[in-house]
Structure 1
Amino acid sequence: MTNVHIINSSINNDVYASHAGPEDMNVIRDLIVKTVSWFESIGSTQWNNLPNEQDDQYLLSAIANGEIIIFRKAGETALAGSVILQQHPSQWDQKLWGEAATSENNAVYLHRFIVNREYARQGLGFEILSWIDNGIQFTGRDRIRLDCIAHNEKLNNYYKQCGYTTISENDGFIIYEKLHSQRTTSN
Protein backbone atom coordinates (compact mmCIF):
# COMPACT_ATOMS: atom_id res chain seq x y z
CA MET A 1 0.00 0.00 0.00
CA THR A 2 1.24 3.44 -0.90
CA ASN A 3 1.75 6.37 1.42
CA VAL A 4 1.62 8.69 -1.60
CA HIS A 5 -1.88 10.15 -1.85
CA ILE A 6 -3.04 12.32 -4.73
CA ILE A 7 -5.36 14.97 -3.30
CA ASN A 8 -5.77 16.98 -6.51
CA SER A 9 -5.11 15.33 -9.86
CA SER A 10 -5.18 18.55 -11.89
CA ILE A 11 -1.78 19.96 -12.84
CA ASN A 12 -3.33 22.64 -15.02
CA ASN A 13 -6.44 22.89 -17.23
CA ASP A 14 -5.14 20.19 -19.60
CA VAL A 15 -2.76 17.85 -17.74
CA TYR A 16 -3.69 15.41 -14.98
CA ALA A 17 -1.73 13.24 -12.57
CA SER A 18 -2.32 9.60 -11.67
CA HIS A 19 -0.46 6.72 -10.14
CA ALA A 20 1.21 4.58 -12.79
CA GLY A 21 -0.03 1.02 -13.16
CA PRO A 22 1.69 -2.01 -14.68
CA GLU A 23 -0.05 -1.20 -17.97
CA ASP A 24 1.94 2.08 -18.09
CA MET A 25 5.37 0.44 -18.01
CA ASN A 26 5.94 0.67 -21.77
CA VAL A 27 5.00 4.35 -22.06
CA ILE A 28 7.19 5.20 -19.05
CA ARG A 29 10.09 3.29 -20.58
CA ASP A 30 9.50 5.02 -23.95
CA LEU A 31 9.59 8.42 -22.25
CA ILE A 32 12.91 7.51 -20.59
CA VAL A 33 14.35 6.32 -23.92
CA LYS A 34 13.30 9.56 -25.64
CA THR A 35 14.76 11.61 -22.80
CA VAL A 36 18.08 9.75 -22.90
CA SER A 37 18.18 10.27 -26.68
CA TRP A 38 17.58 14.00 -26.20
CA PHE A 39 20.33 14.14 -23.53
CA GLU A 40 22.71 12.51 -26.02
CA SER A 41 21.71 15.00 -28.73
CA ILE A 42 22.81 17.91 -26.53
CA GLY A 43 26.06 16.20 -25.51
CA SER A 44 24.97 15.09 -22.04
CA THR A 45 25.81 11.70 -20.58
CA GLN A 46 23.07 11.97 -17.97
CA TRP A 47 21.20 8.67 -17.59
CA ASN A 48 23.37 7.19 -20.38
CA ASN A 49 23.11 3.74 -18.78
CA LEU A 50 19.31 3.73 -19.09
CA PRO A 51 17.18 1.92 -19.82
CA ASN A 52 18.43 -1.51 -18.87
CA GLU A 53 17.07 -4.73 -17.40
CA GLN A 54 17.88 -3.75 -13.83
CA ASP A 55 16.12 -0.42 -14.36
CA ASP A 56 13.02 -2.22 -15.61
CA GLN A 57 12.86 -4.09 -12.28
CA TYR A 58 13.30 -0.81 -10.41
CA LEU A 59 10.46 0.77 -12.38
CA LEU A 60 8.14 -2.21 -11.83
CA SER A 61 8.86 -2.11 -8.09
CA ALA A 62 8.24 1.65 -7.96
CA ILE A 63 4.95 1.16 -9.84
CA ALA A 64 3.90 -1.58 -7.40
CA ASN A 65 4.74 0.73 -4.48
CA GLY A 66 2.67 3.58 -5.95
CA GLU A 67 5.76 5.76 -6.28
CA ILE A 68 5.56 6.62 -9.97
CA ILE A 69 3.25 9.45 -10.87
CA ILE A 70 2.46 9.97 -14.53
CA PHE A 71 1.07 13.06 -16.21
CA ARG A 72 -1.17 13.03 -19.26
CA LYS A 73 -3.11 15.53 -21.25
CA ALA A 74 -6.81 14.71 -21.01
CA GLY A 75 -7.80 12.15 -23.65
CA GLU A 76 -4.24 11.28 -24.70
CA THR A 77 -2.29 8.07 -24.12
CA ALA A 78 1.20 9.57 -24.51
CA LEU A 79 2.77 10.87 -21.33
CA ALA A 80 3.37 14.56 -20.76
CA GLY A 81 5.75 13.62 -17.96
CA SER A 82 6.53 11.34 -15.06
CA VAL A 83 8.30 11.35 -11.71
CA ILE A 84 9.33 8.82 -9.10
CA LEU A 85 8.60 9.83 -5.51
CA GLN A 86 10.40 7.25 -3.39
CA GLN A 87 9.17 6.78 0.13
CA HIS A 88 12.47 5.29 1.31
CA PRO A 89 16.02 6.28 0.42
CA SER A 90 17.78 4.14 -2.16
CA GLN A 91 21.45 3.18 -1.89
CA TRP A 92 22.14 6.17 -4.14
CA ASP A 93 20.26 8.49 -1.76
CA GLN A 94 22.10 7.03 1.22
CA LYS A 95 25.42 7.68 -0.52
CA LEU A 96 24.57 11.33 -1.23
CA TRP A 97 22.64 12.17 1.94
CA GLY A 98 24.70 10.13 4.38
CA GLU A 99 23.26 9.55 7.81
CA ALA A 100 20.39 12.00 7.21
CA ALA A 101 18.90 9.50 4.73
CA THR A 102 18.63 6.71 7.29
CA SER A 103 18.27 8.48 10.61
CA GLU A 104 15.56 11.03 9.83
CA ASN A 105 13.02 8.93 7.82
CA ASN A 106 10.96 12.03 7.05
CA ALA A 107 11.71 12.61 3.37
CA VAL A 108 10.44 11.60 -0.03
CA TYR A 109 13.16 11.28 -2.67
CA LEU A 110 12.35 12.72 -6.07
CA HIS A 111 13.90 10.84 -9.00
CA ARG A 112 13.50 10.61 -12.76
CA PHE A 113 11.61 13.85 -13.13
CA ILE A 114 10.84 13.95 -16.85
CA VAL A 115 8.84 16.32 -18.98
CA ASN A 116 8.11 15.05 -22.48
CA ARG A 117 10.09 17.25 -24.92
CA GLU A 118 6.83 18.03 -26.74
CA TYR A 119 5.80 19.95 -23.60
CA ALA A 120 9.19 21.57 -22.94
CA ARG A 121 9.43 25.32 -22.42
CA GLN A 122 5.71 25.62 -21.71
CA GLY A 123 5.98 25.77 -17.91
CA LEU A 124 4.80 22.20 -17.32
CA GLY A 125 7.89 21.24 -15.33
CA PHE A 126 7.36 24.12 -12.92
CA GLU A 127 3.65 23.22 -12.68
CA ILE A 128 4.48 19.59 -11.86
CA LEU A 129 6.97 20.59 -9.17
CA SER A 130 4.38 23.00 -7.72
CA TRP A 131 1.78 20.22 -7.85
CA ILE A 132 4.12 17.88 -5.94
CA ASP A 133 4.10 20.48 -3.19
CA ASN A 134 0.34 21.09 -3.20
CA GLY A 135 -1.49 18.25 -4.94
CA ILE A 136 -0.13 15.22 -3.15
CA GLN A 137 0.36 14.04 0.42
CA PHE A 138 3.02 11.74 1.79
CA THR A 139 2.06 10.08 5.05
CA GLY A 140 4.73 10.69 7.68
CA ARG A 141 6.97 12.72 5.36
CA ASP A 142 7.52 16.47 5.63
CA ARG A 143 10.13 17.18 2.99
CA ILE A 144 11.15 16.39 -0.56
CA ARG A 145 14.76 15.73 -1.49
CA LEU A 146 16.42 15.55 -4.88
CA ASP A 147 19.86 15.61 -6.40
CA CYS A 148 21.28 17.12 -9.56
CA ILE A 149 24.64 16.74 -11.25
CA ALA A 150 26.69 19.73 -10.12
CA HIS A 151 27.91 20.90 -13.53
CA ASN A 152 24.38 21.39 -14.93
CA GLU A 153 24.10 25.03 -13.89
CA LYS A 154 20.83 25.61 -15.73
CA LEU A 155 19.04 22.73 -14.02
CA ASN A 156 20.48 23.61 -10.62
CA ASN A 157 19.21 27.19 -11.00
CA TYR A 158 15.83 25.80 -12.05
CA TYR A 159 15.47 23.77 -8.84
CA LYS A 160 16.39 26.82 -6.79
CA GLN A 161 13.75 28.87 -8.65
CA CYS A 162 11.24 26.14 -7.76
CA GLY A 163 11.95 26.69 -4.06
CA TYR A 164 14.46 23.93 -3.34
CA THR A 165 17.25 24.79 -0.92
CA THR A 166 20.81 23.70 -1.59
CA ILE A 167 21.99 21.47 1.24
CA SER A 168 25.46 20.51 0.02
CA GLU A 169 27.55 19.14 -2.81
CA ASN A 170 28.62 15.52 -2.61
CA ASP A 171 30.56 13.47 -5.14
CA GLY A 172 29.76 15.81 -8.05
CA PHE A 173 26.07 16.17 -7.19
CA ILE A 174 24.19 18.97 -5.46
CA ILE A 175 21.52 17.82 -3.05
CA TYR A 176 18.38 19.85 -2.44
CA GLU A 177 15.55 19.82 0.03
CA LYS A 178 12.18 21.52 0.31
CA LEU A 179 9.66 21.36 3.11
CA HIS A 180 6.43 19.91 1.79
CA SER A 181 3.37 22.13 2.22
CA GLN A 182 0.95 19.16 2.48
CA ARG A 183 2.76 17.69 5.51
CA THR A 184 1.06 14.99 7.50
CA THR A 185 2.24 13.72 10.83
CA SER A 186 0.71 10.26 11.08
CA ASN A 187 2.20 7.12 9.57
Structure 2
Amino acid sequence: MTVENSVIGDIDVIFKLYDEGTAYQKSVAKKHWKGFERSLIEAEIGESRQWKIIVDGEIACVFAITYSDPFIWEEKDKEPSIYIHRIATNPFFRGNGFTKRIVAWAKEFALENEKRFIRMDTGSGNDKLNNYYISCGFTYLGITEYQVTDSLPEHYKGGSSSLFEIAVQ
Protein backbone atom coordinates (compact mmCIF):
# COMPACT_ATOMS: atom_id res chain seq x y z
CA MET A 1 0.00 0.00 0.00
CA THR A 2 1.42 3.38 -1.02
CA VAL A 3 0.21 6.99 -0.85
CA GLU A 4 1.02 8.93 -4.01
CA ASN A 5 0.03 12.16 -5.70
CA SER A 6 -2.81 11.71 -8.16
CA VAL A 7 -2.13 12.56 -11.80
CA ILE A 8 -4.45 13.89 -14.53
CA GLY A 9 -4.79 10.35 -15.89
CA ASP A 10 -6.52 9.39 -12.60
CA ILE A 11 -9.32 11.93 -12.92
CA ASP A 12 -11.97 9.56 -14.30
CA VAL A 13 -11.28 7.08 -11.49
CA ILE A 14 -11.43 9.91 -8.94
CA PHE A 15 -14.86 10.96 -10.19
CA LYS A 16 -16.03 7.34 -10.24
CA LEU A 17 -15.00 7.02 -6.58
CA TYR A 18 -16.78 10.30 -5.76
CA ASP A 19 -19.94 8.99 -7.43
CA GLU A 20 -19.71 5.72 -5.51
CA GLY A 21 -18.99 7.63 -2.29
CA THR A 22 -22.01 9.85 -2.87
CA ALA A 23 -24.25 6.82 -3.39
CA TYR A 24 -22.92 5.32 -0.15
CA GLN A 25 -23.45 8.60 1.73
CA LYS A 26 -27.05 8.71 0.54
CA SER A 27 -27.61 5.22 1.95
CA VAL A 28 -26.28 5.99 5.44
CA ALA A 29 -26.67 9.74 6.09
CA LYS A 30 -28.87 12.74 5.41
CA LYS A 31 -26.07 14.87 4.03
CA HIS A 32 -24.11 13.88 0.94
CA TRP A 33 -21.80 15.27 -1.71
CA LYS A 34 -23.51 17.07 -4.58
CA GLY A 35 -20.84 16.80 -7.23
CA PHE A 36 -17.59 18.62 -7.85
CA GLU A 37 -16.27 20.71 -10.68
CA ARG A 38 -13.68 18.98 -12.82
CA SER A 39 -11.61 22.18 -12.69
CA LEU A 40 -11.36 21.85 -8.88
CA ILE A 41 -9.88 18.37 -9.12
CA GLU A 42 -7.58 19.39 -11.97
CA ALA A 43 -6.30 22.30 -9.87
CA GLU A 44 -5.72 20.04 -6.86
CA ILE A 45 -3.76 17.62 -9.04
CA GLY A 46 -1.74 20.48 -10.51
CA GLU A 47 -0.96 21.78 -7.00
CA SER A 48 -0.05 18.28 -5.69
CA ARG A 49 -2.98 18.32 -3.23
CA GLN A 50 -4.97 15.35 -4.61
CA TRP A 51 -3.73 11.98 -3.33
CA LYS A 52 -4.42 8.30 -3.91
CA ILE A 53 -3.78 5.11 -2.02
CA ILE A 54 -2.59 2.32 -4.30
CA VAL A 55 -3.12 -1.35 -3.39
CA ASP A 56 -1.88 -4.03 -5.79
CA GLY A 57 -1.65 -1.49 -8.60
CA GLU A 58 -5.23 -0.26 -8.16
CA ILE A 59 -6.52 3.05 -6.79
CA ALA A 60 -8.18 1.95 -3.56
CA CYS A 61 -8.87 5.37 -2.05
CA VAL A 62 -8.49 9.06 -2.87
CA PHE A 63 -8.41 12.20 -0.75
CA ALA A 64 -7.50 15.85 -1.06
CA ILE A 65 -5.72 18.27 1.21
CA THR A 66 -5.58 22.01 1.48
CA TYR A 67 -3.55 24.38 3.62
CA SER A 68 -6.32 26.84 4.30
CA ASP A 69 -10.02 26.46 5.06
CA PRO A 70 -11.16 29.86 6.40
CA PHE A 71 -14.88 29.53 5.68
CA ILE A 72 -15.14 26.52 7.96
CA TRP A 73 -12.33 27.05 10.45
CA GLU A 74 -12.52 30.85 10.73
CA GLU A 75 -9.92 32.15 13.25
CA LYS A 76 -8.35 28.70 13.73
CA ASP A 77 -7.43 28.79 10.03
CA LYS A 78 -4.53 31.10 10.93
CA GLU A 79 -2.80 28.17 12.67
CA PRO A 80 -0.44 26.14 10.45
CA SER A 81 -2.57 23.16 9.44
CA ILE A 82 -3.44 20.71 6.73
CA TYR A 83 -7.08 19.99 6.04
CA ILE A 84 -8.20 16.62 4.71
CA HIS A 85 -11.17 16.56 2.36
CA ARG A 86 -13.18 14.12 0.27
CA ILE A 87 -11.94 10.71 1.32
CA ALA A 88 -13.51 8.29 -1.16
CA THR A 89 -12.84 4.56 -1.06
CA ASN A 90 -13.30 2.04 -3.84
CA PRO A 91 -16.19 -0.15 -2.57
CA PHE A 92 -14.07 -3.29 -3.09
CA PHE A 93 -11.58 -1.93 -0.54
CA ARG A 94 -13.97 -0.63 2.16
CA GLY A 95 -13.19 -1.79 5.67
CA ASN A 96 -9.41 -1.63 5.26
CA GLY A 97 -8.88 1.31 7.60
CA PHE A 98 -7.72 3.80 4.98
CA THR A 99 -8.60 6.78 7.16
CA LYS A 100 -6.13 5.51 9.77
CA ARG A 101 -3.51 5.16 7.01
CA ILE A 102 -4.29 8.70 5.83
CA VAL A 103 -3.88 9.96 9.40
CA ALA A 104 -0.46 8.26 9.70
CA TRP A 105 0.58 9.74 6.35
CA ALA A 106 -0.80 13.19 7.32
CA LYS A 107 1.18 13.23 10.57
CA GLU A 108 4.42 12.68 8.67
CA PHE A 109 3.42 15.16 5.97
CA ALA A 110 2.47 17.79 8.57
CA LEU A 111 5.79 17.45 10.39
CA GLU A 112 7.76 17.66 7.14
CA ASN A 113 5.82 20.81 6.18
CA GLU A 114 5.90 22.47 9.61
CA LYS A 115 2.15 22.18 10.22
CA ARG A 116 0.81 21.92 13.77
CA PHE A 117 -2.63 20.46 13.09
CA ILE A 118 -4.44 17.97 10.90
CA ARG A 119 -8.08 18.94 10.52
CA MET A 120 -11.23 17.52 8.99
CA ASP A 121 -14.89 18.35 8.86
CA THR A 122 -17.93 16.28 8.00
CA GLY A 123 -21.64 16.94 7.87
CA SER A 124 -22.98 17.07 11.41
CA GLY A 125 -25.45 14.54 12.77
CA ASN A 126 -23.66 11.30 11.84
CA ASP A 127 -22.60 9.87 15.20
CA LYS A 128 -21.25 6.66 13.68
CA LEU A 129 -18.89 8.61 11.40
CA ASN A 130 -17.94 10.99 14.23
CA ASN A 131 -17.00 8.03 16.43
CA TYR A 132 -15.01 6.47 13.60
CA TYR A 133 -12.96 9.66 13.16
CA ILE A 134 -12.36 9.74 16.92
CA SER A 135 -11.14 6.12 16.74
CA CYS A 136 -8.70 7.26 14.02
CA GLY A 137 -7.09 9.69 16.46
CA PHE A 138 -9.05 12.87 15.90
CA THR A 139 -10.42 15.00 18.72
CA TYR A 140 -14.03 16.02 18.18
CA LEU A 141 -14.28 19.81 18.53
CA GLY A 142 -18.04 20.22 18.10
CA ILE A 143 -20.32 21.61 15.44
CA THR A 144 -19.94 24.77 13.41
CA GLU A 145 -22.36 26.61 11.19
CA TYR A 146 -20.93 28.66 8.37
CA GLN A 147 -21.90 31.41 6.02
CA VAL A 148 -23.07 30.31 2.60
CA THR A 149 -20.45 31.23 0.03
CA ASP A 150 -19.64 30.25 -3.53
CA SER A 151 -16.16 29.34 -2.25
CA LEU A 152 -17.50 26.13 -0.68
CA PRO A 153 -18.79 23.08 -2.55
CA GLU A 154 -22.56 22.70 -2.87
CA HIS A 155 -22.90 20.12 -0.06
CA TYR A 156 -21.92 22.76 2.52
CA LYS A 157 -24.96 24.89 1.76
CA GLY A 158 -27.79 24.64 4.23
CA GLY A 159 -26.14 22.81 7.06
CA SER A 160 -23.48 22.51 9.68
CA SER A 161 -20.30 20.50 10.09
CA SER A 162 -18.66 18.50 12.83
CA LEU A 163 -15.03 19.54 13.30
CA PHE A 164 -12.10 17.24 14.06
CA GLU A 165 -8.47 17.93 14.81
CA ILE A 166 -5.20 16.18 15.62
CA ALA A 167 -2.37 18.19 17.18
CA VAL A 168 0.91 17.13 15.59
CA GLN A 169 3.76 16.65 18.05
**Matches of residues 1-187 of structure 1 in structure 2 within 5 Å?**
15-42=1-28, 44-47=30-33, 49-51=34-36, 55-76=37-58, 79-89=59-69, 94-101=70-77, 103-104=78-79, 106-134=80-108, 137-171=111-145, 172-181=160-169
**In 1, Cα distance between the equivalents of 2:42 and 2:130?**
29
- Structure 1 gaps of 5+ residues are 1-14, 182-187
RMSD: 2.0
Distance 1:140 1:43, change over 3 A: closer
Distance 1:87 1:138, change over 3 A: farther
Distance 1:33 1:173, change over 3 A: same
Q: Give the TM-score, by structure 1 length.
A: 0.74
Note the C-alpha offset of 1:118: 1.1
- Structure 2 gaps of 5+ residues are 146-159
Larger fraction in helix: 2
Distance 1:136 1:21, change over 3 A: farther
Do the aligned partners of 2:50 and 2:64 also contact (CA within 8 Å) in 1? yes
Which letter maps to 1:32? Y
Do the aligned partners of 2:142 and 2:163 also contact (CA within 8 Å) in 1? yes
Distance 1:43 1:177, change over 3 A: closer
Distance 1:83 1:138, change over 3 A: farther
**What is the percent sequence identity of the aligned residues?**
22
Could you list the per-position Cα deviations for residues 113-145 of structure 1 after superposition, in whole angstroms to 9, with x for gaps in the alignment?
A: 122221112333323333322467552312111
Q: Give the TM-score, by structure 2 length.
A: 0.81
Query: Matched residue pairs, number?
Result: 155
Which letter maps to 1:112? R
Note the C-alpha offset of 1:24: 1.1
